[in-house]
Amino acid sequence: MQSGSGIVETRGGDKRSSKNLDKFQHVKNFIASLKGHESHYGRAKSRRIYLSSEYNITLLWKIYNERATENLKVNYKYFSRIFNNQFNVAFGSPATDVCGFCVRTQTLISNCKDKNEVDRLRTNLRVHKFRAKQFFKLMKEQPLNSVSYCFDLQQVQVLPKVPIQDAFYSQQLSFYCFCVTDIDIKKPIFYTWLENQSKRGSAETSSALHNFLNKQEFEPHIKHIRLFADGCGGQNKNAHMMHMLMIWLYKDSPKTIESVEVIFPVRGHSYLPADRVFGQIEKVVRSHSTIKSPTKYYEIYSKTGEVRRLGADWFVFDIKAALDTLKKIQGISAAKRIFIKRSKNKTDILLKTELLNLIDSYNISRTFTKLGTTVIF
């Protein structure tokens, strides 16, 4: 009656947290100091940090208690509650597609006893990682009057997919999928075909990419197209793919398009937006114990993007016939960027290769049309 408010309940409730504020803060500081990394396959949707697969909560709890003073040590239940409730942290899976150069150099550093040699190896490793980062730096950029796409071929899927041990040793039909998507993976398009329809090489991938470019509706202000792909020589990084892009720019592209730039990552560091799409698809595929027909694959892929089937929505053309009018392109295997553009009089297509991602040398763009021929393909 004197204060005008109800009596505050003092029975029960949490009476221990206030006494353990020092422990609570010390545990939080320890967990926050752990260095992790973001997932390669879900950066746009999740900000979860992944620690090394060698660790777990029990091991971290033991490490914390070893470093803490006697009055700051905690039991496992208290530590795990803070880890799970206060942080968005998980433990990663063992890496399966790491860079061979990085692993080899790190092994040499750990075994080498010569200080000068160790310094040289560390310098080479830093330069290697710096060059690898430039690819992703270019991918994040949004140059004026340009549009960026990424393409890649998925790991082979088997047909039929059945939970029978004998099927593993039997000959199965391969299901192929080539994905082209924008950098933000908002509109992925899947080009699918079966092993009995066609092979899995440069003719198929270049034909699929040609179909994609032909069906795109480019805004009038778009003048430059940037394409990102891994350096697989048999599928993406070869003369046939470059010839296809030259043909498309010469014959089929809108007149507003002036150039096409193809950018490749450092080997072993090719985590592309298309890989994130494949990660989502393969997670769904693993949840199905049985897939008996291609129709089921089409159904699964169509929930993520548009599906185009070989023979119905696109066709494979003989890109190798372009060698009748186009010269072979030297130095593709070592190139990190390839520039394809119209000539000033717009009667020919020029091509130039670069060995580094962020440096434009003074290499001159050259025509690759053979003498005596005036029309490409």
Read off the CATH number of the domain in which 219 is found: 3.30.420
The pair phi, psi for residue 314, each rounded to 5°, is -155, 165
- Specify if 314 maps to a domain: yes
Residues 276 and 145 in one domain: yes
pTM for this entry: 0.78
- Specify if 24 maps to a domain: yes
Residues 167 and 56 in one domain: no
Residues 84 and 104 in one domain: no
Residues 109 and 51 in one domain: no
- Specify if 297 maps to a domain: yes
- Specify if 115 maps to a domain: yes
Positive or negative: CA dihedral 366, 370, 374, 377: negative
| Span 315-325, pLDDT tens digits | 999 988 888 88
Q: Distance between CA atoms of 334 and 15, rounded to whole angstroms? A: 67
**Burial category of 87 from C-beta neighbours within 10 Å (exposed 0-12, middle 13-18, buried 19 and up):** middle
Q: Distance between CA atoms of 302 and 288, rounded to whole angstroms? A: 15
- Specify if 10 maps to a domain: no
- Specify if 173 maps to a domain: yes
Quote the domain boundaries for residue 218.
141-367
- The structural domain count of the chain equals 3
- Specify if 257 maps to a domain: yes
When pLDDT is cut at 50, 70 and 90, the band that residue 202 belongs to is very high
Q: Tokens 């001159």, residue?
A: 364
**Burial category of 140 from C-beta neighbours within 10 Å (exposed 0-12, middle 13-18, buried 19 and up):** exposed
- Specify if 40 maps to a domain: yes
| Span 67-86, pLDDT tens digits | 999 989 999 999 999 999 99
Residues 342 and 258 in one domain: yes
Q: Is the pLDDT of residue 308 over 90?
A: yes
- Which amino acid is present at 130? F
Of 61-75, 89-103, 224-238, 305-319, least confident by mean pLDDT is 89-103
> Which residues lie below 8 Å from residue 112, measured CB to CB, with a gap of 6+?
118, 121
Residues 150 and 22 in one domain: no
Residues 207 and 281 in one domain: yes
